[in-house]
Each structure stands twice: as C-alpha cells, then as structure tokens.
Amino acid sequence: MEQIMIKINFFFRYFIVILFTLFLTISVSISAKEEKEEGDKFKEPKDIKALASKAESLFSAGDWTGTRKYLYQYLGNFEAPDKSKKKEYEDYKAALTWYGWSNFVLDNYYGSMATFRRLDELRSEKPKDDFNGYLGIAWNSVKLNDFKTGIEYAEKAIEVGDNSLNWQAYDTLAWIAIKEQRYDDAKDFIKKADTATNKKWQVKLKDSAITGGWVSVFENDWKKAVKNFKAGLNRDKKCFFCNDGLARFHIAEAAKYLKEKDEKKAKKEYQKALKQALKGARVVRHNSGLVTLVDTALYGIGDTKVTVKTYQALAKKWKKDPLYFAKLGYAYMGSKEYNKAEEQFKEALKRQPGYYLATSGLSGLKFAKRILVKDGWELYYKGKYKEGQSSCEGKIKEAEKDKNPAAHDCIGWNLLAQQKYNDAANSFKSALKVDPTFYFSSSGLQTAQRYQLVNYNEAWSLINVGSFDRAEERLKKAETKVDADLKFLIDDARAWIKFYKKDYKGAKADFDKIVKANDKAYGSYKGLAYISMEKKDFAKAAEDLTKSLNLNPYQAVGDYIYPVNKMQEAGQWEKSKYILELGQRIYPYSADIQYLLAKAYKELKDVTTAEQKLVIAASLAPAYMEPVVDKLGLSPKNIKDAYYSIGWSMYYIGKFDNAEKRFKKYFDNGGNYYVAYNGLGLTKLYQKKYSESEKYFNKAMEVRKSTEGLEELEYLDAEAYS
C-alpha cells in the first residue's frame, strides 16, 4: 500500500488553473484519421484492482479528463469492500483517491470534496493509509477559501504521514500562507517540505520550487521566481507547472515592452513564452492555464503559420479532447473559412455534446453572417432605413442560396425603425425559419411583438418583488394576447416562479420541457443553469448559461454578474472568467465585470492581466473600487494608476482624507504624473494645509517642465498657479 500511496501522492498537488482563453486567428486542417476519433472510450474493468490501476495509468499520463470520465463511468459499479478484504479495500480507496484528484484538478471542488469526505470515512488499519483523505479535504478547503479547515486537515495529514508524504501537506500550508499574504510563513513551510524529502530521498522535489516561485511572483520578484521555476525543471524535466511559470514571466516581459511600444522585443518574449507553454501542454492533456498561455503567446506573435503548426501538433497529441477542435473552429473563423469553422465546432461537439466553446463558436458564426448585408447595415446606422431595406432585399437570393438569415434579419430591423411592426415581425420570422438560433432576429421579433407583451412585462415586475400570485394573474391575461410562437415566454415565467419558490425539481421539469420544444428559449437555459448552480454542478451550469448568453448576449449585466459571483464563491475561476469575457463584449464599461475578471485572473495566477483589469475597473468606477482596490493583494506598484483614478474621485466627492491616502499611495509606488501632484495640492488646499498644498503645486510645475513633450506647454500649469 505504501508504494501505491507514494505513486498517487507524487502526481497531484496545488492544481490551480490559469489565464485568458482568447478566440484566435488560426487556420488548421485535420487528417481524416483524426476526424474519426470521437472522444474517450474505455473497456469495462473486471474488478476493483483493474479500475484503480487504469485510473492511475490515465492520471499519471496527464490525462486528467480521461481519469474522471473513466471513474465516473465505472466507479459506481463497485461498493466499498469489507475491511477484512484488505487488498480490495485499499484498491477501492485508491480508486476513490484518483477520482477525488481528477475532479480537483479539473476545478470540480465540491465534487472532489465529497469524494475525499467519503474517503475519509473509510479508515485503514494503518493511520498512514488515511493520509489522502485528509490531504484532499485540506486542498479543496484551500480552493473554497476555507483556510481554517484547510489548516486543520493539513495538520491531520502530517500527524499520520511520514517524510514520504508530509511534504505535500507542508505545500498545502504554504499555499494557504500565500493566499493570506504571509509570505515569510510560506517560505518556512517550503523549507519544511524540502527537509522532509531530503530526509526520505536526499532530494528536493520540483513542487517546492514551484511554490517558491509563486511566492516570488506575488512579492513582485520575477528574477527570483524564474530561478525557482528553472530549478524545478532541473529536478523534473516534465514539470509543466514550471513551464507555466516561465511562460508567464515571458508574457509579463512582453507586456512591459508593449507599454514601451517596442513590438519587436515583445514578439521575442511571446515566442519564448510559446516555447515554454508548449512544453507543458504536451505533458498534460487539459490544463486550462497552459492552454490559455499558448493562446496568449500565439496572439502576441500574430503569425498564422506558427499558430497552424502549433495547433496541429496539439490536436494530434490530444485528439480525443473537444478543446482543440473548438480552437480549430475559431481558427477558421479568423481566416473567414466559415464552413470549415462550423465543421470543426461540430467535431468538438461529437467529442463532448454541449461543449461550451463549440456552442459559443457556432453562435459567433452568426456575427460573420451579417457581413453579406454590411451595406444595408451602414445605411441603417446612418438613419437611411428605406435605402437600407432596399439594399438588404437585393441580397435575399444570395442569402437563401447560402442558408444565411442575415438578409431577412437586416430587412426586419430597417422595417422596425420605420415602425412597420407587423412587416418587421414577418421578416424576423423568415430569418428564424432559416436559422432558429439567429439571436439578432429573436430579439428583433420580440421587439416587434412588444405590444403583445405588456401583461407579460408587468408579470415579471411582480415576480421580481416576490408577488407571485399577482404575477400569475398578469400571465393569464398575457396568455390570451400573444402569438403562438411567444407562448413559451409565459411558460418560462411560470417555471421561474417555481424556481424562486425553491421548487427546483418542478422548475427543472418545466425548463427542460420548454427547451426541448424551443431551442431558442434563452431564459429557460438560464433557469437550468441557475438550478445546476444550486446543485453545485458548475460544469452543467456553465454549459447552459453559455447557451443562454449566446442565444441572447444582450441580457442585463446582472445576468452575467449574479452567476459569476456564485461561481467564484465556489472556486470556479476558469468558468467565471469565460462568462465574464462574454459579458465584457456587450458591457465593456462595466466596472463590476472588470473587477470580477481581475479576481478571476488573480486566482488563475495571471497576475499581469489581473492588475490591468483592476486598473480598468478603477478608471470606470473609482469610488466603487475605493474600498476593495487593495483586497486582491496585487502589487501596489503595478496598480498605481488605480490609486490615481481613485484619488481624483475621492477629491471630487469631498472625501479629502481618502483622496490624500490614494494620491500618496500613487506616488509611493512610482507615480510621477504632474496632474496627480495638482490633485494632491488641491486636496491639501481643502484640508486647509496651505504650505503643503503650495509644495505639491510647485512639484506639479516642476514635473511638467521635465516631462518630454510638455516642456514648453506652460498653459498646463494654470491649475497650479490658480
């Protein structure tokens, strides 16, 4: 059993997933042989020993997704053997361990926690054999921000473990210290981990180097971080988390060069980042951090040929994974080969039905379909609606030939602008006959039919305040007035009433019935997503929420923010990031979305992007960000521009002490903009600290005169003189 446990415990550790899924400009072709591959297929195990052995083999090969699918399919065929059957009993525990860790590394922390809680109930004769249950609970607690429980169970693990195991528990404690910004404590735990492995095997493992690297990253010492990540690779050439860290360093360097407008040097850094990210991505099947690092590097390089070669290699390596087929779809979209793009998205869906990147890609193709009638839309935006209508009518034959709804849709919107509601509704219906999921026409049709929906809208106003009986009265009235193709909205509202009454079973049955009959019922998909969130099934929630938002991206900003808050509370950082990236397309000026993105990127260890998002959020809503700007634990030096924005906001609303605090923090972290000195001067003026005020106004003029390009612009000193 000790050998099994050592094998198990060498493979898992602090699996934090990371960074930025971009829709890339790629162009890739796949061989016929590869296209025939359709997802994971497994042979049924004959006994529990075979189950545990296969799970170990998959996990050890970096196929975490395959491990989870395999155990999900077959673990339920077995029950925990009696303790008297020692070998079978420990094999069953080993299978549970692999299931727990495969869920953990794929971000299903609630599912993983449930598995490790079950494992914790199965006590072994040797206390040491219970180490995995304790460690799994500890790590999931860390991910769910329950640090007290994390510490409790890490310490329990240390009590029963020995030097072959305890380094992992020390690593857990180090990460809790990192999250609590106790970096010296984190370093102490790393030393304890190294001491344990040195005593057992006379070596330091890659894991302590990785954790040490991240301590340095959060201390904003990239030089030391790089040294640690390289040390990890020297200890294990397959240390993909080390590749991850080095790739992030080069991307951070590229960002610096881009700020300096040195694109040539930035490109070289992106090339170095790609090299590291690819090394890691070849080791492990589906680590979202590495996948998105590859994306980011390719985007920065901007070379289609490099992108093609890269994704051909990854698709060949991991050909059962829907991810890479979806990437190929986006590639073809970028090269305007829309039919090929559609084929690749469908290939992804063959490997995983409902896969959110593929459904989103198919939805994204609808944007491209509007290119056919771009002239009509240009006239529409100029207010020339009759001419726009005529232009789009001239494209009907071509559109029908390609099964493209865009011409009828364009006509509908131009008619709507002319207040020809019935004609507009008919045009939108014609578009939806061609493509029932063309959400431009779905929203257009609802706008055209809005006069039918007065009682329906009144019902929703009542639902929102919990007046369900009165809402039902309005729905009954609405039911008699709407066209048949809108009646699903009435049923949807009734299902939502059940949801708000916490009748989740009844609501789910109703939502399922609606989407089965009407696959454009975005509100019902959203309802299914919310029910899945209540059940902590965030994978299904993300799938249904993505369908809803792709069917109608113009939903209220709260429809993006509410589910994201739920996801982030549950540690679902990658899924929340994807939903937020959809949201920022429609609401680019939402400070909430930018701040939540900053949180997601921080937890996914993309510190550079997190800092950028926080600065953007502060510029959009500085007063709103003032209480939380430092809560993410990001480097003050790198978010100094956020302090600048907040300083001015506090000044304008008369909170002069807060303004002083934020301006000073801006200067303390390297800020030197003359306008900020004016801001602090004005703040001191209102605080009646006149000598200090004069000092900062003089400083503003001094800095302005020494700033390149501003040396002769004396009129900029008007505020200081005033």
**Dihedral (CA of 561, 567, 570, 572) sign:** negative
C-alpha angle 25-27-32 in degrees, rounded to nearest 5:
145
- The reported pTM is 0.66
Q: What is the pLDDT of residue 584?
A: 87
Is the confidence at residue 471, as pLDDT, over 60?
yes
Q: Band of the pLDDT at 539, cuts 50, 70, 90? A: confident
- Residues 199-227: what's their mean pLDDT? 94
Each residue's pLDDT tens digit, 180-208: 999 999 999 999 999 999 999 999 999 99
Each residue's pLDDT tens digit, 233-257: 999 999 999 999 999 999 999 988 9
Q: Which residue has the higher pLDDT, 722 or 704?
A: 704
Is the confidence at residue 38, as pLDDT, over 90?
no
Of the candidate CATH numbers 1.20.1110, 1.10.150, 1.25.40, 3.40.1350, the domain formed by 368-429 belongs to 1.25.40
Is the confidence at residue 78, as pLDDT, over 50?
yes
What token pair was written down for 247? Answer: 């790739």
In percent, how much of the chain has pLDDT > 90? 59
Is the confidence at residue 354, as pLDDT, over 80?
no
**Dihedral (CA of 596, 601, 607, 610) sign:** negative
Q: What is the pLDDT of residue 10?
A: 35
Q: Hey, which of 6-10, 376-380, 543-547 has the most confident mean pLDDT? A: 376-380
Four-CA torsion 104, 110, 111, 117, nearest 10 degrees: 90
Q: Band of the pLDDT at 288, cuts 50, 70, 90? A: confident
- CA 603, CA 571: separation in Å to the nearest integer? 9
DSSP letter string, 361-373:
HHHHHHHHHGGGG
Each residue's pLDDT tens digit, 45-64: 999 999 999 999 999 998 98
SS3 state at 244: helix
Question: How many other β-carbons are positioned within 10 Å of the β-carbon of residue 3?
Answer: 7
- CA 50, CA 407: separation in Å to the nearest integer? 58
Is the confidence at residue 263, as pLDDT, over 70?
yes
- CA 247, CA 296: separation in Å to the nearest integer? 10
Each residue's pLDDT tens digit, 306-315: 887 888 888 8
Q: Band of the pLDDT at 27, cuts 50, 70, 90? A: very low
Q: What is the pLDDT of residue 8?
A: 38
**Dihedral (CA of 288, 291, 297, 298) sign:** negative
Q: Which residue has the higher pLDDT, 409 or 606?
A: 409
Q: What is the mean pLDDT of the chain?
A: 87
Q: What is the pLDDT of residue 208?
A: 96
C-alpha angle 661-667-671 in degrees, rounded to nearest 5:
135
Q: What is the pLDDT of residue 715?
A: 55
Note whether 304 and 25 are within 8 A (CB): yes
* Gyration radius (Cα) of the chain, Å: 29
Four-CA torsion 93, 94, 96, 97, nearest 10 degrees: 120
- CA 553, CA 152: separation in Å to the nearest integer? 44
Is the confidence at residue 334, as pLDDT, over 80?
no
- Residues 325-350: what's their mean pLDDT? 84
Q: What is the pLDDT of residue 338?
A: 83
- Residues 712-722: what's their mean pLDDT? 58
- Residues 389-416: what's their mean pLDDT? 94
Q: What is the pLDDT of residue 606?
A: 83
- Residues 398-418: what's their mean pLDDT? 93
Q: What is the pLDDT of residue 720?
A: 57
Q: What is the pLDDT of residue 30?
A: 32
Q: Which residue has the higher pLDDT, 123 or 286?
A: 123
Q: Which of 261-270, 284-293, 607-616, 645-654 has the lowest mean pLDDT?
A: 284-293
- CA 141, CA 176: separation in Å to the nearest integer? 10
DSSP letter string, 384-413:
-HHHHHHHHHTTHHHHHHTT-THHHHHHHH
Three-state SS for 294-316 is HHHHHHHHCCHHHHHHHHHHHHH
What token pair was written down for 639? Answer: 């978010």
Q: Which of 290-294, 335-339, 387-391, 643-647 has the lowest mean pLDDT?
A: 335-339
- Residues 94-102: what's their mean pLDDT? 96
- CA 570, CA 662: separation in Å to the nearest integer? 32
C-alpha angle 96-102-106 in degrees, rounded to nearest 5:
145
Note whether 421 and 396 are within 8 A (CB): no
Q: Where are the domains of the chain?
A: 368-429
Each residue's pLDDT tens digit, 577-634: 888 988 887 788 899 999 999 999 988 878 888 999 999 999 999 999 999 999 999 9
- Residues 160-179: what's their mean pLDDT? 96
Q: What is the pLDDT of residue 708?
A: 73
Task: Tell which residue, 642, 619, 620, 621, has the closest CA to residue 630.
Answer: 642
Note whether 444 and 408 are within 8 A (CB): no
In percent, how much of the chain has pLDDT > 70? 93
- Residues 403-416: what's their mean pLDDT? 94
Q: What is the pLDDT of residue 713?
A: 64
Please name the helix (run of DSSP H) or strand (run of DSSP E) that holds residue 130, with its range, or none.
none
- Residues 1-6: what's their mean pLDDT? 38
Q: What is the pLDDT of residue 168?
A: 96
- CA 596, CA 599: separation in Å to the nearest integer? 5
Each residue's pLDDT tens digit, 99-154: 999 999 888 888 899 999 999 999 999 999 999 999 999 999 999 889 999 999 99
CA distances from 615 to 29, 620, 630 (A): 40, 9, 11
Q: What is the pLDDT of residue 320?
A: 85
Q: What is the pLDDT of residue 719?
A: 56
Q: What is the pLDDT of residue 605?
A: 79
Task: Tell which residue, 258, 228, 257, has the closest CA to residue 245.
Answer: 228
Each residue's pLDDT tens digit, 415-456: 999 989 889 999 999 999 998 878 788 878 877 877 778 888
